[in-house]
């Protein structure tokens, strides 16, 4: 269990079972993002990505948050290892490492229908601080006042960098550690 090196990431990107593409891995590593993995022997059982930089999201959006927090995105558990709470275990250990580095916690957004992730995050003590909405057809974005309080920003890529906006449709819940 721990942060994966670029060499390890490329090795797993070559495999179809981990939902990692080489272009994605290269871009994330170039930005300085970290990937925390849990292993079963030499098999990568689960991983999650962490960033302190603005991060591309779906539908031409960019997610960013206050430098006080690390942003978690793209979590995955190999199908053979699902149901073993590896997601929560990995997030807990990664956040501990970031807390040691001086971060105040973690921020992520989760689609409301992703009940397994929401349950795991709540079990870890995460709390909802805001709700964000995005309408694809009109590219309308909205976020609640809780997003302002923690410096969570989602902007359309064609918007001004300071625009406070949102995430994806349907409205995701936003989480952070205490």
Please write the tens of the pLDDT for every residue from 70-121: 999 999 999 999 999 999 999 999 999 999 999 999 998 787 888 988 888 9
131 forms beta bridges with 173
Q: Can you tell me the distance from the alpha carbon of 66 to that of 122, in angstroms, rounded to the nearest whole number?
A: 22
- Only one residue has tokens 């992703």, namely 114
pLDDT at residue 13 above 60? yes
Please write the tens of the pLDDT for every residue from 49-74: 999 999 988 778 888 899 999 999 99
Cα 173 to its chain centre, rounded Å, is 12
Q: Where are the domains of the chain?
A: 2-176
Confidence of residue 177 (pLDDT cuts 50, 70, 90): very low
When the candidates are 3.40.50.300, 3.40.630.30, 3.40.50.2300, 3.50.50.60, the CATH number that belongs to 2-176 is 3.40.630.30
pTM of the model: 0.83
- Tell the burial category of 7 from Cβ atoms under 10 Å away from its Cβ (0-12, 13-18, 19+): exposed
pLDDT of 171: 38
Residue 69 near residue 136, CB atoms below 8 Å: no
pLDDT at residue 37 above 90? yes
pLDDT of 175: 53
- Only one residue has tokens 């709540």, namely 122
pLDDT of 106: 94
């Amino acid at each position: 269990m721990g942060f994966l090196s670029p060499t390890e990431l490329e090795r797993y990107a070559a495999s179809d079972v981990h939902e990692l593409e080489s272009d994605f891995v290269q871009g994330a590593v170039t930005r300085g993002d970290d990937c925390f993995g849990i292993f079963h022997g030499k098999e990568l059982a689960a991983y999650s990505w962490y960033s302190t930089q603005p991060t591309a999201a779906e539908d031409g959006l960019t997610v960013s948050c206050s430098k006080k927090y690390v942003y978690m995105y793209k979590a995955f558990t190999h199908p053979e290892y699902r149901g073993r709470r590896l997601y929560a275990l990995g997030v807990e250990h990664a956040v501990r490492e970031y807390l040691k580095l001086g971060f105040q916690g973690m921020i992520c957004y989760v689609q409301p229908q992703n009940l397994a992730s929401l349950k795991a995050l709540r079990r870890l003590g995460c709390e909802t601080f805001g709700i964000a909405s995005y309408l694809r057809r009109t590219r309308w974005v909205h976020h609640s006042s809780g997003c302002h309080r923690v410096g969570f920003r989602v902007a359309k890529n064609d918007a001004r960098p300071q625009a406070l906006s949102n995430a994806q449709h349907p409205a995701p819940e936003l989480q952070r550690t205490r």
